[in-house]
A and B are shown apart, each in its own frame.
Chain A
Amino acid sequence: MSVRASAAVAARVLRQLRRDPRTVVLLLGISPFLLTLLRGAFDNDLPAFQQVGGPLVGLFPFSTMFVVTSITMLRERTTGTLERLMTLPLAKLDVLFGYGIAFALVGTLQALIAAAVAFGPLGLDVVGSTALVVALAVGNALLGMSLGLFVSAFARTEFQAVQFMPAIVFPQLLLCGLFVERDEMAPVLHAVSYALPLTYAFDALHRVTVEGSLGGAGLADVAVIAATTLLLLAVGALTLRRRTP
């Protein structure tokens, strides 16, 4: 493990991102755009906008970081740069932490912009602290990153990696409680929702935005998110191989 190497990887990932202004605009612009759409769609039902808007600010970074990381990591695997990195004096964790630092920064920026638009011009109002919503959003960005990193090992092409978004993110969004209360779901799905990390991400956000504070259960949610992120990173490290067939 070396701070210098992790910092080098983080700086490189960010520089690559900056080389691609269109992606940066999409990354930072999509959440405010979707929130604005949502505000317009709920024009005659503002309470409903208040109900879903808050949690969504915190959930967007999860899905974008998932896609960005799975594609970036897949590229690293398919262009041979990962193989080169694995022949250099560099720990696997340096690579993963480097990605973590870079995408935590991007996730923070993304959450700040989404929050500024939502809590500003869109008039979104949450019961709890908006700073806490942003903090949870950053945590969810890291969760999305670690999940993206892990699934990138199972994709051979970018087409496959992109399909992981509807395959892995959408079911979690549907079952996390955002659209339908989990208690009202078919019993099987209710049970399944306990195994999905986004359920805990939504629950924590719901507690802050609707109930006003995390409370003990919310803290437990945060612990689950953190543990899942670390677990996925550890499993992700196993998919970075020094030797390949």
Chain B
Amino acid sequence: MSVEVEGLTVRRGGREVLRDFGCSIPAGRVTGLLGPSGCGKTTLMRAIVGVQVVAGGRVTVLGAPAGSPGLRSRVGYLTQAPSVYGDLTVRENMRFFGRILGEGEGRVDEVIETVALAPFADRVVSRLSGGQQARVSLATAMLGRPEALVLDEPTVGLDPVLRRDLWATFRGLAARDGVTLLVSSHVMEEAEHCDELLLMREGELVAALTPAELRRRTGRDHLDEAFLALIESGEGE
């Protein structure tokens, strides 16, 4: 297992966003974190990356406690809102983060290519579209060749062709390079691209299974309906 979460409790604004939460994320696979908006996906991801103040529990990532200094070069994180410098060009952003991560020009060009931004490499980020800005942020997360990638809604607002290409990239990273990916989405159809699924609702894990198991267990082909059926049957793990 690449990530182990045990008994995780997080309070934000006097409310328990995660309550005694536990899950495991296998190494070298694409794990989808799915559930409606506000169910605690981002909070869980922040806890895994180690930027979330937690009230209790244990989060272990690649064998070390989440947030350990040694993990900073081994875990890549994409926040939901693009976190790059809007007044710099795509390439200037990449170069800056590359210098911190010890990656050179070759790698910078490579990731810009991966997120299909080569034609916009010398454009100022704030003048790009929302989807393009999200991809700059994604490129930054992938830049340092992390062993684990935590991606908060990386495909939201992208057109279908790009979405397909990015999922192919994610699958390639897992299959070829053995990278562990945790990818969140509130769109159930995205579950299709994942090896494993973590289904969340109101701060709790509803189920951990594969897309095929989800279909089998609920008898629904459509993943959206399957998720609803699972919740309505009140059946968790």
A binding-site residues for B, Cβ under 8 Å? 4-5, 7-8, 11-12, 15-16, 19-20, 79-81, 83-90, 242-245
Contacts and interface: CB of A to CB of B under 8 A. Distances in A.
Given A19-B124, A83-B83, A243-B53, A5 B99 contact: yes
Given A88-B97, A89-B100, A243 B67 contact: yes
Contacts of B87: 16, 19-20
Contacts of A90: 72, 100
Contacts of A242: 50-51, 67
B72 A87 contact: yes
Contacts of B50: 87, 242-243
Nearest to B93: A12
A12 B77 CA distance: 21
B217 interface: no
Interface of B: 12, 49-53, 67, 69, 72-73, 75, 77, 79, 81-88, 92, 96-97, 99-101, 124, 140, 144
A84 B77 contact: yes
7 contacts: A8-B100, A80-B82, A83-B79, A84-B83, A84-B84, A87-B49, A244-B53
Given A15-B92, A86-B51, A88-B72, 15 more contacts: A8-B99, A12-B92, A12-B96, A20-B87, A79-B81, A80-B82, A81-B84, A83-B83, A84-B83, A84-B140, A88-B73, A90-B72, A242-B67, A243-B50, A244-B52
A20 to B, nearest CB: 7
Nearest to B97: A88
Given A4-B99, A5-B100, A8-B100, A87 B51 contact: yes
A88 B83 contact: no
A132 to B, nearest CB: 36
A89 B83 contact: no
A83 B85 contact: no
Nearest to A80: B83
B88 A12 contact: yes
Contacts of A245: 12, 52-53
B153 to A, nearest CB: 14
